[in-house]
Structure 1
Amino acid sequence: MSAILRAAVNEVTHVRQYQPGRVVSASKVVDMRSDTVTRPSPAMRKVMAEAVVGDDVYGEDVTVNELERKCAEYFGKESALFVLSGSMGNLLAVMSHCGMRGSEMIVGQQAHMHRWEQGGYAQLAGVSATTLVNEPDGTIALDAIETAVRDGTDFHQPTTQLLCLENTHNYRGGVAITIDYMQKVRTLADKYGFRVHIDGARLINAAVALGVSADKLVADADSVQMCFSKGLGAPMGSILCGDKAFIERARRSRKAVGGGWRQAGILAAAASMALENGVHTVTRDHANAVRLATELNRLASDKFLVNMNTLQTNIIMVQLRSNDAAVLCEKLGAMDPAVLCSPFDADRIRLVTHCDIQDSDIDVVVNAFAKL
C-alpha cells in the first residue's frame, strides 16, 4: 500500500471513530448512532465508478433519469426528482405545495421537519406551521387536524395548505403509520382542500414492518420523500415523488436553493442499487433490532428496558430508569470494544441497526450494556 493511500485509510478510520467531543481509540467500534453512518459496499462503489453520467441540469444524466423513472413507478406517482438530502426534499415539497409565502402547514411537534431541519419551511419557504401532538403511534389525532385547519376566510389568518406526516416516525421510536390512518387523512384533506406530504425518510422500513408495498402506503399522499442514505446504504441522496406539475415546481425550486447538480449519476447509481436491495436490507435490520432488544431485556438490568411492543423497525429506544442517558453513552463509547450510540433525550438511548451491523456486532453491544 502506498504512503498516500495508507494516509487516506488512516484518515477515514479516524473519522469513522469520531464522536462529538473526542476520538475513540478502541480496538473495535460498533457505531449504532444512526443508519446514516454506513459506507458504500464494494459492489456499490463499483456501480458508482461505472455509472453512465451526463449533465443533470440539462436533463442529460441517463442514470439520474432512470432512477427518477424507477422511483415514480415504485411509489405509484407520476414523476420524481432526485435531490441532495431528505431535508432538501421536504423543503421543496413545502415550497411546491404551499406556493404563496405566508400560507400555513400542519406538522407534528416531534416531527423531524419541525425539530431537526432548522425550520427551513419558515426560514426559506416563508410558511408558518401549526404544530400538533404526535401520538405514541406517530400519528396526529384526526380531530386535532380538523380543528387546526384554517380556510383563509379570515384575512387575519394564514390559509392551511399542507399537512406533513412522518413515516416511520423517528422520535416515536421508528413506528410505522398505517394505510388505514392515511385513508382517513385523505378524507380530511379532500374535505378541506389541503395537500398531504409524507416525510418518508425510512419509508421502506415502514412498508416492510406493515407487510405492504410502498406505493400502497403512500397512495393517499400527494407527495413523498425518501432517503437512500438512511437504512438503504447509499452515501447520499433522496427522492421526491408526486404529480408532474408538482415535480416541475420542485425542480425549479431545487435550483434556487442550490440543488442543481451535474454528473449526479454517480450517486444515482448507488441510490438505484440501494432501492433494489431495500426490502432485503431493512428486513435484516429489523431482525437484528429484535435480536438486540431481546438480548438487552434478558440482562434483566435495573438500569434499562426496551419496550418490545413499540419496536417495529430498526430503531431501538432503550428506556432508562434514570436521567443519565448522556453519561451512559459516554461510558459505552469509552469501552473497548466501543459502542457509539445517541442520548435521544434525558432518559432514552437510541440504537439503530443498519446494513453495516453484523451478527458479531450485536454480541459486542449486548456485552457492553452488560458491563453497565
Structure 2
Amino acid sequence: MIDLRSDTVTKPSLAMREAMHHAEVGDDVFGDDPTVNQLQRYAADLVGKEAAIFVPSGTMGNLAAILAHAGRGQELLLGDESHIYHYEAGGASALGGLVFHPIPTNAQGELDLAALNAAVRPAYDAHAAQAGLVCLENSHNRCGGTVLSLEYLAQVQQWASSQNLPVHMDGARVFNAAVALGVPASTITKHVDSVQFCLSKGLGAPIGSIVAGSGEFIKKVHRWRKMLGGGMRQVGVVAAAGMIALNEGRERLIDDHVNAKMLAEALSQLPQIELDLASVQTNIIVFGLRDSTFSPEQLVERLRQAGVLIVPFKGRLRAVTHVDVNREQCTEASSIIAEVLQSA
C-alpha cells in the first residue's frame, strides 16, 4: 500500500528504535527523566521560548495550553476551519467551560483582523462573554497545508497586544511552515505567546507533542497536563524518538513538499480532477472531482483496492506526503489514480 492518508501513519526509523532502546529514563512526574528534560530544553530553544513540556498528543497540548491561558466563561477566538474547532472533541468547552467563537477562515488560513476585532465584546457589556484567547493554526490542515505569512502574524500579534489578549498557535506542522517560508521556526513563533507542535506528524516520531511558552505559562500547562491524565513516568523511552525527530526530521521536510508538489502537478493534469496548485504549499494536497462518476468515498475505496490510501476531506479528497512515501511511490500513486479514474 502507498499510504497517503496522513503524515501520522509513519513508522519510527531504525535510529529512533535504537535511541528508544538505549534511552536513559527516570520518573518524569518528579522531573527526573533526563531524556525528557533534554528534549524539552532543545524544543524550547528551537521555537525561541523560555520553556517547553512534552505531552502525549497535539490535542492534549492544545487543550492544556488553552486552559492555561483562559478561564471559564471566556471566549476562544479561533478559525471556523481550525483543527481545534473541528477535531478536538470540544474539549475547551467540555472541560474548561470556554465558549468557542469561530471566525471565518480565508483560503490561506487567515482570520481577518477586522473580524477578530469585531468579535471582542465591550468590557462593560454584562450580557456578553469576554474574549480570553486567540488561536491560529500554521500550517493549516483544512486549508490544504497553507502557511501564514510573517507579515500577517506580526499584524495579529500587534492587534492582540492592543487588546491584551494572548495568542496560541496550533503549530502541529509548524516546521513544515518554517521550511515553506525558508526561515527558522522561531521566526514564526516569536509572534505568539505559546505554540504546540507535533513530533508524530511529518517529523516521524511514533508519539508525542510539545507545548512551549514562558516559564510561568509552562508551569500552568504542567498542572493541566496532570489533570488531563498526561503525567507520564519513564517516558524518556519515547522522548528519545522525539529527539531524533527534531534533529533529523526537520531538514528532510522539504522532500515531502517537493513530492507533494510533484504529485499535485500530475493530478492537476487529469481532466476528472479539480486542484488549485497555489494551495499546495507544504505536504498536503486537497483536490475535488469534476464529474459525478465517483463520489469521494467511492474513489477512496477503489483506490484502496488498487493499492493507494487517501481520505475523503470536506466533500473532496486529501493526500499527504511523508517520510515513508518516496518520490517513486508518489509517481506510482499518480499513475494509479489516473488509471482508476479512466476506468470508470
Match in the other structure for 1:124: 95
Match in the other structure for 2:338: 370
Q: Please report how far the alpha carbon of residue 364 of structure 1 lies from its aligned counterpart in structure 2 after TM superposition.
A: 2.1
Q: Please report how far the alpha carbon of residue 295 of structure 1 lies from its aligned counterpart in structure 2 after TM superposition.
A: 2.1
Cα deviation digits, residues 318-366 of structure 1 (max 9, x gap): 222146111111110111xx101001022x2100000000222112201
Match in the other structure for 1:55: 27
Is the contact made by 1:231 and 1:281 (CA closer than 8 Å) also made in structure 2?
no
Paired letter, 2:133: L
Q: Please report how far the alpha carbon of residue 151 of structure 1 lies from its aligned counterpart in structure 2 after TM superposition.
A: 4.5
Match in the other structure for 2:204: 233
Cα deviation digits, residues 14-48 of structure 1 (max 9, x gap): xxxxxxxxxxxxxxx11100000000011110001
Task: Say which SS state the counterpart of residue 136 (structure 2) adopts.
Answer: strand
Match in the other structure for 1:7: none
Q: Please report how far the alpha carbon of residue 234 of structure 1 lies from its aligned counterpart in structure 2 after TM superposition.
A: 0.2
Paired positions, count: 338
Aligned ranges for residues 18-29 of structure 1 at < 5 Å? 29=1
Paired letter, 2:7: D
Task: Say which SS state the counterpart of residue 239 (structure 1) adopts.
Answer: strand
1:174 pairs with 2:145: yes
1:67 pairs with 2:39: yes
Give, in whole Å, the separation in 2 of the partners of 1:249 and 1:322: 52
Which residues of structure 2 form unaligned runs of 5+? none
**Structure 2 length-normalised TM:** 0.96
1:309 pairs with 2:278: yes
CA RMSD of aligned residues (A): 1.1
Match in the other structure for 1:191: 162
Match in the other structure for 1:19: none
Match in the other structure for 2:264: 293
1:359 pairs with 2:331: no
Give, in whole Å, the separation in 2 of the partners of 1:230 and 1:151: 40
Is the contact made by 2:24 and 2:236 (CA closer than 8 Å) also made in structure 1?
yes
| 1:252 corresponds to which of 200, 220, 223 | 223
Is the contact made by 2:274 and 2:288 (CA closer than 8 Å) also made in structure 1?
yes
Paired letter, 2:28: D
Q: Please report how far the alpha carbon of residue 155 of structure 1 lies from its aligned counterpart in structure 2 after TM superposition.
A: 2.2
Aligned ranges for residues 214-229 of structure 1 at < 5 Å? 214-229=185-200
Q: Please report how far the alpha carbon of residue 293 of structure 1 lies from its aligned counterpart in structure 2 after TM superposition.
A: 1.3
Is the contact made by 2:15 and 2:244 (CA closer than 8 Å) also made in structure 1?
no
Give, in whole Å, the separation in 2 of the partners of 1:151 and 1:55: 47
Is the contact made by 1:151 and 1:160 (CA closer than 8 Å) also made in structure 2?
no
Is the contact made by 1:325 and 1:345 (CA closer than 8 Å) also made in structure 2?
no
1:343 pairs with 2:312: yes
Paired letter, 1:135: N
Task: Say which SS state the counterpart of residue 96 (structure 2) adopts.
Answer: coil
Match in the other structure for 1:20: none
Cα deviation digits, residues 295-333 of structure 1 (max 9, x gap): 223xx3221033211110000112221461111111101
Give, in whole Å, the separation in 2 of the partners of 1:216 and 1:118: 31
Task: Say which SS state the counterpart of residue 287 (structure 2) adopts.
Answer: strand
Give, in whole Å, the separation in 2 of the partners of 1:236 and 1:257: 17
Give, in whole Å, the separation in 2 of the partners of 1:116 and 1:296: 27
Give, in whole Å, the separation in 1 of the partners of 2:331 and 2:117: 47
Match in the other structure for 1:280: 251
1:80 pairs with 2:52: yes
**Change in CA separation of 1:255 and 1:151 when aligned onto 2, cut-off 3 Å:** farther
Give, in whole Å, the separation in 2 of the partners of 1:352 and 1:70: 27
**Structure 1 length-normalised TM:** 0.89
Aligned ranges for residues 18-167 of structure 1 at < 5 Å? 29-98=1-70, 100-167=71-138
1:265 pairs with 2:222: no
Give, in whole Å, the separation in 2 of the partners of 1:322 and 1:255: 50
Q: Please report how far the alpha carbon of residue 150 of structure 1 lies from its aligned counterpart in structure 2 after TM superposition.
A: 2.1
Give, in whole Å, the separation in 2 of the partners of 1:200 and 1:286: 17
Is the contact made by 1:204 and 1:278 (CA closer than 8 Å) also made in structure 2?
no
Is the contact made by 2:275 and 2:287 (CA closer than 8 Å) also made in structure 1?
yes
Give, in whole Å, the separation in 1 of the partners of 2:47 and 2:338: 42
Give, in whole Å, the separation in 2 of the partners of 1:37 and 1:362: 16
Match in the other structure for 1:321: 290
Task: Say which SS state the counterpart of residue 370 (structure 1) adopts.
Answer: helix
Paired letter, 1:339: V
Give, in whole Å, the separation in 1 of the partners of 2:192 and 2:33: 28
Task: Say which SS state the counterpart of residue 250 (structure 2) adopts.
Answer: helix
Task: Say which SS state the counterpart of residue 105 (structure 1) adopts.
Answer: strand
Give, in whole Å, the separation in 1 of the partners of 2:253 and 2:68: 30
Which residues of structure 1 form unaligned runs of 5+? 1-28
